[in-house]
Amino acid sequence: MALSQLSHVVVLGGGILGASTAAHLARSGVQTTLVTAGAIADGASSRSIAWLNSSGARSGAYHYLRLIALDRYRTWAARHPESTSYLRFDGALKWAAPGESFADTYAFERAGGYDSVWVDRADIGRVAPDVDADAVADEGAIFNPGEGWVSLPDLIAALIDQATELGARIVEQAGDARVDVQEGSVTGVILGDGSRIDADRVVLATGGAVPAQLLALGVDVPDATPTAFVLFTDPVDVPVTTVLNTPRVAVRPTPDGRLVLDADWAEQSIRVADDGTITVPDASVQGLLDEASKVLAGNPTLTAQRVGAGLKPIPGDGDPVAGRVPSIDGLYTLFTHSGATLGLVLGELLAEEIVTGTSSPVLAPFSIERFATAEPAEPVGTGAWVPLR
C-alpha cells in the first residue's frame, strides 16, 4: 500500500520502538496514533542499561543492523546538540571472569572491523580513568571507543515531541489495548475501556507483552523474556563516563549524575508471585552496589535510589523480530532485545516498509517467518550471556 492509500496507522507501545516508529511515520506524512497502556516510557525502556553497541559475536546480518543503528545515533547527536546530556559515546570497557578469557572475543571483533582495543591492566587508567584497574582481569580488558549509552526516557520524550509537532496523536493510559482483526485483516485497535480506533495498519511494539498478544491472534513467536531489574543509585560524587560490562556488574552513567546497575546473577534472584508481584531481594540490591563500588576508581560508597523491575524482552533465538506479520494483513511487529541500540533504526526501517509497501532487505533476516522453517533453537534466557541493551 503506497502512502496515498494509507489512511491511518496505530502504533501500540510507548517505549523506544513505538516512539521511534511513530515519529518516523509522522515524518513521512502518515496519520499516526501512538497508544500505550500506561504512561510514555514506563515499561522496559525505563529500566534499561541502554548500552549502545555491537559488542561480541553475532551473525553478520545482526552486526550490520547494529552498526547502522549506531550510525543513526551519531546522526541524531549531530542534529540535536542538546542530546549531549542524554546521549554519549565515551566508550565501553569489558573484561572476562576468573578462569575465562576475552581473547577470542577481541579477535572476532577485530576480524569484523569493529573498533576494539586490547588494554593491558597497567594501561586501564589511560583509557578509563573512572575504573579501578585492580578489579580488571589479569589478562586485561577490551575497550570499544565507539560505544556509548543513551537515557531512553529523554530520547523518547524528544521523539514524541517530534511526532506530535508533525500531527501524530498520543493516547496514554489506554489500558489493555488489543489489535482488532476481522477476516484476516487489521481493522483497528480496541482500547481497555472498549472504545475503538480504526486503522488500516497496526504496529505491535509492546515489549515483553508482544508474544502473548500475537499468540492471542494465532501467531506463535518463540519467547525467552525474563523478569529483570536495574538499580538506580543516588548521585555519585565521582565522575563516571565509561560503560562497564564486568563479570559481576554492568554500569552506566545517567544524565543526572546517578548510575544504572544490573547483572545476570542479580536478575536470577528475583521472585515473582502467582499474582505477578515482583520482589527484588535486599541482598541483591546491596550486592550490586558493592560490586559496582569495587570496579570504580576510588571505590566510592554507593546507595540505592530506586529499583526498576519488569519484563526484559528477548525473542527465543535472541535475534530481533521485525516487520510484517504475514498471516494478518496490515499487522507489523517489533520485538527485540537491545531495544536501546536498535530503537532509532528499527523505527525508521519499519516505517519505510509501511509507507512504501516494500519489505526492507535489512530487516529480511529478522522476519517472523523464520520461525516457520527454522530448526528449534536453544533459547537465550537466564544463565546465557546476552549483550546488555
pTM of the entire structure?
Answer: 0.94
Give the integer Cα–Cα distance in Å for 318 and 314.
Answer: 6
Cell numbers 518463540: residue: 222
pLDDT at 373: 58
Sequential DSSP letters for 59-116? -HHHHHHHHHHHHHHHHHHHH-GGGGGTEE---EEE-PPTT---HHHHHHHHHTT---
Mean pLDDT, residues 4-31 taken together: 94
Whole-number Cα distances in Å, 385 to 103, 286, 338: 16, 23, 13
Site of grid cell 559515546: 89
Sequence-distant (≥ 6) Cβ neighbours of residue 109 within 8 angstroms = 55, 56, 116, 142, 144
What's at 128, amino acid-wise? A
Q: Does domain 3-48+153-224+316-373 have CATH number 3.50.50.60?
A: yes
CA-to-CA distance for 62 and 74, rounded, in angstroms? 19
For residue range 245-286, what is the model confidence (pLDDT) as tens digits? Answer: 999 999 999 999 999 999 999 999 999 999 999 999 999 999
pLDDT at residue 374, as a whole number: 45
pLDDT score of 136: 98
Q: Looking at residues 56-61, what average pLDDT do you find? A: 92
**Cell numbers found for residue 3:** 502512502
**Look-up of cell digits 508471585:** 273
3-state secondary structure of 208: helix
CA-wise closest residue to 350 among 366, 369, 328 = 366
Give the fold, CATH level 3, of 92-145+227-311. Answer: D-Amino Acid Oxidase; Chain A, domain 2 (3.30.9)
- pLDDT confidence tier of residue 151, bands split at 50, 70 and 90: very high
pLDDT at 79 over 90: yes
All 3 cell numbers of residue 35?
497508544
What would the mean pLDDT of 125-152 be, rounded to a whole number? 98
Q: CA separation (Å) from 54 to 47, 50, 343, 345?
A: 20, 12, 14, 14
How do beta strands 148-150 and 243-245 pair?
unpaired
| 281-284, Cβ contacts within 8 angstroms, sequence gap of 24 or more | none
What are the structural domain ranges in the chain? Answer: 3-48+153-224+316-373, 92-145+227-311
Is 70 exceeded by the pLDDT of residue 3? no
CA distance 220 to 42: 26
- 5 falls in which pLDDT band (50, 70, 90)? confident
For 344-381, b where at least 16 C-beta lie within 10 A, e where not — what string? bbbbbbbbbbbbeeeebebbebbbbeebeeeeeeeebe
b/e per residue 85-116 (b: at least 16 CB within 10 A): ebbbbbbbbbbbeeeeebeebbebbeeeebeb
